Amino acid sequence: MNKIHPTAIVAPEAELGDHNEIGPHCVVGPEVTMGNGNVLRSHLLIEGKAILGNENQCFQFSSLGTEPQDLKYHQEDTLLEVGDNNVFRENVSVHRGTANGGGKTLIGNHNLFMGYVHVAHDCHIGNYNILANYTGLSGHVVLDNYVTLGGQNGVIQFVRIGSYCYFGAGTMVDKHIAPYTTGYGNRITIKSVNVVGLQRRGFSREAINAIRDAHRMLYRSGMNTEEAVQAIEYKYGQIEEVRVFTEFIKDVKHDVKK
């Protein structure tokens, strides 16, 4: 059974699962599909074609599934899809996709979006990411998994950030960032490897040492990107964690050093 406050407006066409809580003055549009156990605190808007999974927490004054801020958008049938166990704190905004960008904004599981975070159209966000207060993602951004973006980070359009990256506050990200990387600054300066984060996630000492050496070979050795990748694969190709690093570099098809 769902618990819906008398002041909430839930369209009759909306599809709701079970054990959802919809608080005061929330608005749920007719194209919304919601799973089980979600909590909408108060004064929250979910509209457009939006799919919300299970046990998400949505705090007051947030908006999910609203129209993208893209002048090329002309009311096409696009989507926001959200997984399970995400937390959207106060005043978070997440826009649905655009026809030119694949039509979907996708959010995985167990992500934390702190106050005033903005996720633009066609972003793809994986699992266990933390976006601190006032961070903004432009359109078509990809975050892999276990990424931490500090307060007031900005990410330009079409950028991909690899897993286990950690960026300090006030960082502007204007290029693809390989996994395991730390950095900060406007524009971002690559610093080192997120050793503390890797230790917390149970990476072995062998894997961390190999990642650190691979990172040094890419960013500090003086080799160009192609040469560095070949050297890394020759030395550490048998280590899965390092293969994630080199495959990312090849997949993005852009020089991550520029």
| Largest separation between any pair of C-alpha atoms in the chain | 65
User: Is 162 annotated in the active site?
Assistant: no
User: Is 168 annotated in the active site?
Assistant: no
Q: Which of 43, 95, 121, 176 is catalytic?
A: 121
The two three-digit tokens of residue 104, written as one number: 């979907």
For residues 147 and 125, give the distance between their C-alpha atoms in angstroms, rounded to a whole number: 10
Q: Give the 3-state secondary structure of residue 188.
A: coil
Answer positive or negative: Cα dihedral of 242, 247, 248, 253: positive
User: Is 5 annotated in the active site?
Assistant: no
Strands (E), 39-170: 39-40, 45-46, 49-52, 57-58, 63-66, 79-82, 87-88, 93-95, 104-107, 112-113, 118-119, 124-125, 130-131, 136-137, 142-143, 148-149, 154-155, 160-161, 166-167
For residues 40 and 172, give the distance between their C-alpha atoms in angstroms, rounded to a whole number: 31
Strands 142-143, 45-46: pairing is unpaired
Q: Which of 65, 122, 124, 162 is catalytic?
A: 122
Q: Which of 48, 139, 154, 183 is catalytic?
A: 139
Q: Which residues are catalytic?
A: 121-122, 139
